[in-house]
Each structure stands twice: as structure tokens, then as C-alpha cells.
Structure 1
């Protein structure tokens, strides 16, 4: 990852102005306020985690984050943070992004999702920037005294 992408992720992180005591729920609420849209998180077995483990679908009035089934809370958190990072970075508004209408899940009753990000290339600049921002957010959660997923506590 080049310095330009790291800088984009860091700038987005700093602009969030997150509180010192942070939880995943507080982060989601903060992003909802910032975007003016509700965020719904859905775990689904329809994502196997082999090619796609998370998918953000911006709908008309709500951002839906789908993630694959996982037994590990840290893995679940990272998948959610990655998709939320796309929201924070406003990748739904980026010119030239690889967005396409796709049918994803049966529960959408055959609706075509207007702006679902096609995850064909995990090495794209958008994906790399979102993953770096997700790492920054995960670090903020780990160092927060309120976050129960502070895994460093298990190794003391």
C-alpha cells in the first residue's frame, strides 16, 4: 500500500473525531449520524467467506452490511469495520469505482441493488484504503477501555 492511500485512510479516521471510549455500537451510531442513514448489519451464510466475506449495499434510506458467518468476534468486527470504512470514505460517490447493479440475496426478492460494490479485485486502491481505515478503527476499539473485544487482555 502506498503512502497516498495510507494518508487518505488516516485523514478519514482523524476527521471522524471519535471519542476516546469507543465501542463498535458507538462507531456505527457515529457513522449513521454522519451519513444521515441507518446502518443494518446482517450475518448471512450466503457469503461463504471464500471470495466475499462482506458486502455493503447502499439502499435508498439505509446502508446494509452483509457479512459471512464466523465464530470469531474479532473476524466479524473486522468485516464490519471494512464495510463501514467504505461508507466513511464515501466510496459510493467515487467516480470510476467498480460499482454495478447485482442480485445478491434471495431475501431481496430479485431486486437489483443499484450500487453494490463488486469485489472482483481485492488489490484495488479502494479496497486497500478501506482495509487500512478498518485497521485504524480496530486499533481505536482495542485501545478503548469500553470495548469488550480488547484481545490484548487475553495475553496478559
Structure 2
């Protein structure tokens, strides 16, 4: 079990290491960064009540040109942010969609969008499969990386070793 967790952590860390996390951190700043990195707009939407009633609290919908993340609005701000980070995890891993009644759900989310344009639709429901575990771990690691103290903490092995030995240059402290 420990090896499985370590491999999961390593996969998530390698994805996170490719991401520039804005400091100071905000969800909006992260979404702007992701949009620029992916060269496609990223839109955030509250989940319509008819979708939220189906035990779904977050969803990533990708079209050919845009990304859309839907989140439960009837929860705390901290929980909303975690839902958004979880869906961003799916996006960064480029996880494959699952069939959640694709036409019905996408029509409830974006009624003007043709179901044929939906490339990926991922809904957050359980954490038993690999994709959900990766998205959840990446969300947690992203939150840790975004913390104010993380801006001063080196992320590379060499940087952490230099910090531990006290050999980091003064301008890096």
C-alpha cells in the first residue's frame, strides 16, 4: 500500500512540477496561468441545481476549444476551491471522460452547446479509481504548494538539500 501511495505521489508531483503556481495564490490567478499554458480559455461555472442533486459536486468539461469547470456553489469557499483544484487535477492529467449521460449532463450544464462538441466530461463522484485518486492528490499538493510558506520553500531536491544545509544564496531566502 505504501508503494502504491508513493507512486501516486510521484506521478502527481511530476505534473505539479511542470506548473507555475502564482504567488500570491488565487484560484483566478491559477486559472489565468492554466489558460495561458494550455492556450485555451478556462471558464468556471456554478453547477446547476439539477446536476448537483445527483451527488456531483464538481465536473470538468472539455470542448475542442475551451475548458469548463463546474463546482458546487452551496458549500464553503474552502470546499469550492478544493473542488476546483480537484477538477484542475483531472485537466492537468488529461484524464479521459466517463459516460455520465453525456448528452443529458452537458445539455444541463451548457444548453446551447452541441453534445457532439463535448470531448471530455468528468464528474466527481468517488475516489476509488486511479483518475480520482490522482486528481485528489494533485489538488492537495497544489493547495500545499500554494500556501504562503511554500513560496519560500524550494521544490527541487537540490533546492531542499541546499536549504537544509544552509547553503542557499541570500537572494533565494
Report the RMSD for the aligned CA atoms in angstroms.
Answer: 2.6
What is the TM-score normalised by the length of structure 1? 0.76
> Do 2:62 and 2:120's aligned partners in 1 also have CA atoms closer than 8 Å?
yes
Tell me whether 28-37 or 135-144 shows the greater mean CA deviation. Answer: 135-144
Q: Provide structure 1 residue ranges, at least 5 long, that are not aligned to the other structure.
A: 92-96, 146-156
> Do 1:28 and 1:39's aligned partners in 2 also have CA atoms closer than 8 Å?
yes
Match for residue 82 of structure 1?
A: 86
Matching of residue 31 in structure 1 with residue 30 in structure 2: no
What is the TM-score normalised by the length of structure 2? 0.70
Q: Which aligned pairs between 1:93-112 and structure 2 lie closer than 5 A?
A: 97=96, 99-100=98-99, 102-103=102-103, 104=105, 105-106=107-108, 107-109=110-112, 111-112=114-115
Tell me whether 44-53 or 28-37 shows the greater mean CA deviation. Answer: 44-53
Q: Which aligned pairs between 1:17-96 and structure 2 lie closer than 5 A?
A: 17-44=20-47, 45-48=49-52, 51-91=55-95
Matching of residue 140 in structure 1 with residue 139 in structure 2: no
Which of the two has higher C-alpha Rg?
2
> Do 1:48 and 1:69's aligned partners in 2 also have CA atoms closer than 8 Å?
no
Higher helix share: 2
Aligned residues: 141
After TM superposition, where is structure 1 displaced by more than 3 Å over at least 4 residues in a row? 97-101, 118-121
CA distance in structure 2 between the aligned counterparts of 1:65 and 1:98, rounded to whole angstroms: 13
Match for residue 125 of structure 1?
A: 130
Question: Alpha carbons of 1:49 and 1:13: their partners in 2 closer, same or farther (altered >3 Å)?
Answer: farther
For CA contacts below 8 A with separation 6 or more, give which structure has more relative contact order. 1
CA distance in structure 1 between the aligned counterparts of 2:22 and 2:40, rounded to whole angstroms: 20
CA distance in structure 2 between the aligned counterparts of 1:86 and 1:38, rounded to whole angstroms: 16
Higher strand share: 1
CA distance in structure 1 between the aligned counterparts of 2:113 and 2:66, rounded to whole angstroms: 18
Match for residue 16 of structure 2?
A: 13
Q: Provide structure 2 residue ranges, at least 5 long, that are not aligned to the other structure.
A: 151-173
Report the Cα offset of residue 121 of structure 1: 4.9
Report the Cα offset of residue 128 of structure 1: 0.4
